[in-house]
Amino acid sequence: MQEISKVVAIGPESTGKSSLCESLAQHYNAIACPEYAREYLLANGTHYTFEDLLTIAKGQLALEEKYAAIAFDKWAANGKQTSKPLLFVDTDMYVMKVWCEYVFGKCPHFILDSLVESECALYLLCNIDLPWVKDELREYPDLKSREELYHIYKDILINQQVRWAHVKGSSADRIQCAIEAVNETIL
């Protein structure tokens, strides 16, 4: 894979990760990589197994690789306006780890090994202060679960040697906060 600056949005479901990545990609004339799990579950149903989560994790990594190549090509075609191509990713192996452990109490070694190998320039932790929006895939509408999951993600970031920023408030506030974090950390 080409060398890129990968920015990952993580946090519980319905915290604006997808729209944040799309807005940032538009702002920076870059690329956003969607969440593979959404595509997989819409095609295969919402009654997933532990083994399905491993398949989803592998699909997410393959999708990231595909979008990284697209980001590199777009960056090269646009005159290399930044030192590296930017790729905004909705979800990564930390999300897969939390999902596996939260639902099944264990995580495949493949996901843990992928985390060790992962290179991310910046994580954007999305707060739960947006209203939860129901859709056919979301599982945790209750505030207690959302708070618990948020704190799991925050603890992961605090305890890792990674750069991260807390993103909260309205959609406009989140975008502004994320832009400031990207500008300060990457550009």
pLDDT above 90 as % of the chain: 83
Residue by residue, DSSP assigns 28-83 as: TT-EEEPPHHHHHHHHH-S---HHHHHHHHHHHHHHHHHHHHHHHHHHHHTT--SS
pLDDT at 69: 95
pLDDT digits (tens, 9 = 90+) for 132-171: 887 777 777 788 999 999 999 999 999 998 999 999 999 9
Residue 25's pLDDT band (cuts 50, 70, 90): very high
Give this prediction's pTM.
Answer: 0.94
Nearest to 107 by CA among 118, 95, 120, 90: 95
Give mean pLDDT, residues 19-33. Answer: 97
For residue 1, pLDDT beyond 70 = no
Q: Where do the domains of the chain lie, and which CATH numbers do they carry?
A: 5-185 (3.40.50.300)
Residue 2's pLDDT band (cuts 50, 70, 90): low
pLDDT digits (tens, 9 = 90+) for 57-114: 999 999 999 999 999 999 999 888 778 999 999 999 999 999 999 999 999 999 999 9
